Amino acid sequence: MSTPRSVALERLAYTLAAPVLAVAPNLYPDSPVNQVVQLAGAAGVGGIVLAAKGEETGAGRKILRWAPLVLAAAVDVAAKHTLGWGPYWMDGLLAAGWAVAGYLVMPFSRHTRRRHRPALAAPVPQPVAVAALEPSVAQPDDGAGADLLTREARMMWERAGMPARTRVVKATRHSGMRVDLTLLLRASETGRPITGLSPEAVGAAFGVPAADVTLADVPVQPGRQGGPGWMEARITPEANARRRTAPTPQERWIDRVGGPKGGAPGSELVHKTRDEARGVTFYRAGMTDSTETPRIDLAKVCRALGLPEDDSCVFVLIDGSEFLISAFDEPPLSQIFAATRELLTPDAKGMYVCGFTITGQPVKTMVFQHDKNAAAHGLTLGVSRSGKTQFFAINMAAQSLAGQVVWLSTVRKDEKTTVLGKYIDRQGSNALWMARQLRAAKALCEIRAEMPWPHDGQPHDYKPGDPRCPYRQLNVYADEFMTAAQDGDFGEFIQKDGEDLTVTGLKYGIGFNPAGQSPFAHNGFSTEMKDNLRQNSRPVIFNMGSPGATRKAAEGTMENPYDVPTIPARYSRSEGSAIERAMRGEADPENGVSTGGVAVIVLDNGRAVLMRSLYADFDTDLSELFPDEVNRLTDYEISELEKRGLWFDWNEPVRPGEFWPEPDEDDDGEGRSRRRGGGGGKGGGGRGSKSGNRRSEQVASPRQALEAIKSLTEA
């Protein structure tokens, strides 16, 4: 073990000074050497005195520091005052003893170290061997322990000036990639968040476009910190090049559909499936935030996915935060679903299949309300030739198969309603017939309210499916109700009685089924009437002339306006480019297919579903759909109606006083009505109106005059 330099020098000084202390006083008593030694001793005595009087700790250590000087001065004074070398060479022995004492004790070298630190020459205890710990990414390895990729990344990062005052903790290459990697970064100063780091700064450091850099937060993991002081940078030029040329369905959805400017912002694709048998591709997606409602622009989604957007082959179905986009090879609703007795026969809850959706699911509607223990209303809307009468046929067949009575009135006579008249109880085709029908149905409410049940002889409310009920459910149809409600003579009676029937008819087993081209109040549907129809039926809306009108009509029948499917005027398949045809001066192809029979049905939960209603072929015998015998009213009900003058051939002309009192001649000889109300005749059923005045005041042409004279003559 080597001797420290300070110890060796001190020992050398003692060895050289010892002869000087012995020889100098004897040979040169007046030499300056003696004076220097004595002055040094005096200084040592002063230092010892000050150290002894001081209040600080370590006085003994300070006294030992000054002891060699004081002892050297004492040896020098003793040698000077002895004769010669003194007895027994005492001067030499004292000098030698001083040198030996300093050589062995080394007071100055040993006690000048603070806190008694041992000299380097002293034995040092060996540290106990401890198992090496695995390096943690929480403390970055800046030495040779890092892998080659991490060291190269650190060199490039340092060459870029340590962007945002960050350090590279680790670099990880992506599986199967030559260039793509992920950098784990942390702030250079512990406890400082990373601020100011941008994709441009990372891209510049590694020579890639900023679009190929993605910055993300680092979650806290076992053995690794996280939070604002850490960040992850994904550098993916190789993957992005592949994504731009051949993206996966999920990547295409994220880039083109689910972005802020996409057709369904905030959504993600769950999976894409193909059904070859049905020729349809399904895209099931959902919102990344399950609390959000999908906002879908179907046209933008089609363009993003490369689908045709105007050929009635793409449909969307929304269910909470999820939605399904169905892309068919051929228009699915152009398929014909023939009506059969099996499909139209209601079950124990009064439900039967009235059509099929685009996905092939059966759609059901009701002939009575099992849950409410009441009859059911019906509301059917659509323009001419949209499929309303076809739906009437299957609905009437289902009601007849359930043992119910059906009446049908229309404003004008046509082939289909005449055919239906063969299979139902009553059918007529003018506004007067409709007014009489509604008036009789309203009177039936009064009759059934007092009609005793056979089991106890007491009247009860209607209970569908109860075999003890003495009467059958009655379903009153009013086609073109909007037009009839605006009739000059009977419109007010039709509107008032129809409104009353929707309010009071259900508890007496009478359902009202109006049809028309508008569900709004200014066209005959009062708010009270529409609310009762909506809550006690499943409204069916066929083509209303335009997608906007159809959507508005459907929303008018829904309690909460959900997204309403679109029904185009015709199915039009896209053929080629419209721009190229325009440049060549060619006509657009005529490939339209009618959407008759396609309807939106509003289900009980307020959701609108697109369906194709069952098809009843009027060119064939409809007897296969209807029961063998026509269901009719009971004899008791007919006799009560006859007592009120309401049961007769409703095709007859207006009877005297049937709707308004007969005019009396006043003093001026003019016919004036003194009606107390529209129901002043024995039939009742109407309210006060201006119809009586119309008879005498609205004669503005020879034809009207002839009609007025004819009615008076018939009276």
Residue 152 and residue 48 share a domain: no
Residue 258 and residue 216 share a domain: no
* Whole-number Å distance between alpha carbons of 501 and 464: 18
* Whole-number Å distance between alpha carbons of 574 and 566: 17
The encoded tokens of residue 545 equal 């002339």
Matching residue, tokens 């005449």: 418
Residue 448 and residue 536 share a domain: yes
pLDDT score of 712: 60
Beta strands in 245-361 (DSSP E): 267-275, 280-287, 314-319, 322-328, 351-357
Phi, psi (5° rounding) for residue 33? -65, -40
Assess contact for 389 and 407: CB atoms under 8 A: no
pLDDT score of 136: 44
Give the chain's residues under pLDDT 50: 1, 111-122, 130-140, 667-697, 714-715
Number of alpha helices (DSSP H) and beta strands (DSSP E) in the chain: 22, 24
Residue 300 and residue 167 share a domain: no
Task: Please write the tens of the pLDDT for every residue from 279-333.
Answer: 899 999 999 999 998 999 988 999 999 888 766 788 888 888 999 999 988 888 8
The encoded tokens of residue 566 equal 């679109």
Residue 443 and residue 315 share a domain: no
What stretch of H or E contains 405?
Answer: strand 405-409
pLDDT score of 715: 41
Q: What is the DSSP letter of 653?
A: P
pLDDT score of 280: 92
Residue 233 and residue 84 share a domain: no
Residue 35 lies inside a defined structural domain of this protein: yes
Sign of the dihedral defined by the CA atoms of residues 630, 631, 633, 634, in that order = positive
Residue 567 lies inside a defined structural domain of this protein: no
- Boundary-marking domain end, from 72, 105, 138: 105
- Boundary-marking domain end, from 272, 303, 328: 328
Angle at 570 between CA 567 and CA 571, to 5 degrees: 90
Q: What is the DSSP letter of 338?
A: B
Residue 238 and residue 286 share a domain: no
What stretch of H or E contains 14?
Answer: helix 5-27
Residue 359 lies inside a defined structural domain of this protein: no
Residue 376 and residue 498 share a domain: yes
Residue 237 and residue 267 share a domain: no
The encoded tokens of residue 660 equal 């308004």
The encoded tokens of residue 596 equal 């008759």
Contacts of 406-409 with C-beta under 8 Å, sequence gap 24+, read: 406/474, 406/475, 406/477, 406/631, 407/437, 407/441, 407/474, 407/475, 407/476, 407/477, 408/477, 408/479, 409/433, 409/434, 409/437, 409/476, 409/477, 409/478, 409/479, 409/484
Number of structural domains found in the chain: 4
Residue 164 and residue 235 share a domain: yes
pLDDT score of 97: 76
How distant, in Å, are the alpha carbons of 101, 325, 356, 380 from that of 339? 128, 28, 11, 18
The encoded tokens of residue 287 equal 């919102």
- The SS3 assignment for 536 reads coil
Assess contact for 398 and 416: CB atoms under 8 A: no
Matching residue, tokens 């051929």: 330
Residue 132 lies inside a defined structural domain of this protein: no
Residue 511 lies inside a defined structural domain of this protein: yes
Domain that includes residue 429, residue range: 367-545+615-644
Task: Please write the tens of the pLDDT for every residue from 516-545.
Answer: 887 665 555 777 888 888 889 999 999 888
What type of residue is 714? E
Question: What is the CATH number for 492?
Answer: 3.40.50.300
* Whole-number Å distance between alpha carbons of 211 and 216: 14
- Boundary-marking domain end, from 243, 269, 298: 243
Residue 466 and residue 399 share a domain: yes
pLDDT score of 696: 42
Q: Output the 3-class SS for 419-484.
A: HHCCCCCEEECCHHHHHHHHHHHHHHHHHHHCCCCCCCCCCCCCCCCCCCCCCCCEEEEECCHHHH
Matching residue, tokens 């685009």: 358
Residue 623 lies inside a defined structural domain of this protein: yes
The encoded tokens of residue 470 equal 């003495």
Q: Which residues, 6 or more positions from 229, have their beta carbon under 8 angstroms from its beta carbon?
A: 186, 187, 190, 191, 192, 193, 194
Residue 234 and residue 255 share a domain: no
Residue 589 lies inside a defined structural domain of this protein: no
Residue 575 lies inside a defined structural domain of this protein: no
